[in-house]
């Protein structure tokens, strides 16, 4: 998984509680991404980061916030979890954000269940 770890790997939480997912990389890649994967949908981008303290929204960012204080760590926070946020969350990294064939490498995923 290209030097990417995600924690926790599985989590069950209750509606209304805050949740933070962590992505850690050892590749020193500049770009990091958070996606969610749901049945019947392709992977959808939540937020991404193009450097320390530099982040931007993806197509499904409502209800999520992110932070990146170090190159190697990218945190995804659900301020008040809802059942619609039950999903599998993937972190990805890439050296660049553009170019003819920039490559994204994915982590192992975190399965989050909100009851």
Partner 1 sequence: KNQVEQSPQSLIILEGKNCTLQCNYTVSPFSNLRWYKQDTGRGPVSLTIMTFSENTKSNGRYTATLDADTKQSSLHITASQLSDSASYICVVSGGAGSYQLTFGKGTKLSVIP
Residues that bind partner 1 in the complex, under the rule CB under 8 A: 1, 4, 31, 40-45, 48, 50, 90, 92, 97-109
Is 110:20 a contact under the CB 8 Å cutoff?
Answer: no
Shortest distance, position 38 Cβ to partner 1, whole Å: 10
Q: How far apart are CA 21 and CA 7, in angstroms?
A: 6
Tokens of 81: 């979890």
53-113-60-54 Cα dihedral, nearest 10 degrees: 0
Closer of 14 and 101 to partner 1 (Cβ): 101
Closer of 15 and 113 to partner 1 (Cβ): 113
Closer of 48 and 64 to partner 1 (Cβ): 48
Shortest distance, position 60 Cβ to partner 1, whole Å: 12
Q: Helix, strand, or coil here: 81? A: coil
Shortest distance, position 18 Cβ to partner 1, whole Å: 25
């Amino acid at each position: 998984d290209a030097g990417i770890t995600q924690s926790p790997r599985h989590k069950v939480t209750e509606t209304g509680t805050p949740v933070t997912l962590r992505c850690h990389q050892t590749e020193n890649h500049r770009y990091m991404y958070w996606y969610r994967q749901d049945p019947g949908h392709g992977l959808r981008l939540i937020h991404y980061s193009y450097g320390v303290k530099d982040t931007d929204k993806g197509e499904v960012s409502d209800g999520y916030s992110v932070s990146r204080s170090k190159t190697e760590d990218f945190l995804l926070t659900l301020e008040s979890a809802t059942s619609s946020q039950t999903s599998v969350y993937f972190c990805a990294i890439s050296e660049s954000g553009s170019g003819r064939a920039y490559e994204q490498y994915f982590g192992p995923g975190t399965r989050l269940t909100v009851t």
